């Protein structure tokens, strides 16, 4: 059985994520940390990494961005499923924000 490797796609996604995260942190650090779900120490590290280090980190065989939740109901809300797609997205954001603050405590 021939299974795809996906290494090139993972590297590309990792690099895009790291570059976006760094740009977000340099623009509005507090908002970026909340949206990325990262703490102060990792934000400091990421914000000061050189382009070469970002490329090396992106080359990891692991996918660096990860889902911040694992509940199907939250995913359904975020995708706009339900009676009102607009309020479903807002409801999902409120739930996700509450969980992020619980995890930080």
Domain residue spans in the chain? 1-66, 68-105
Q: What is the pLDDT of residue 52?
A: 96
If you average pLDDT over residues 86-90, what whole number do you get?
70
CA-wise closest residue to 25 among 3, 49, 6, 5: 49
For domain 1-66, give its CATH number from 2.60.120.650, 3.40.50.300, 1.10.4000.10, 1.20.1250.20. 1.10.4000.10
Q: What pTM was computed for the model?
A: 0.72
Q: What is the pLDDT of residue 58?
A: 96
Q: Counting Cβ atoms within 10 Å, is residue 103 exposed (0-12), middle (13-18) or buried (19+)?
A: exposed
């Amino acid at each position: 059985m021939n299974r795809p490797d996906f290494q090139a796609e993972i590297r590309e996604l990792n690099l895009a994520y790291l570059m976006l995260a760094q740009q977000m942190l340099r623009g509005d650090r507090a908002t970026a940390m909340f949206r990325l779900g990262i703490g102060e120490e990792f934000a400091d590290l990421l914000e000061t990494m050189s382009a070469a280090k970002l490329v090396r980190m992106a080359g990891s065989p692991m996918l660096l961005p990860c889902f911040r939740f694992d509940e199907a109901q939250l995913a359904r809300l975020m995708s706009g499923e339900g009676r009102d797609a607009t309020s479903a997205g807002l409801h999902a954001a409120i739930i996700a924000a509450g969980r992020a603050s619980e995890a930080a405590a």
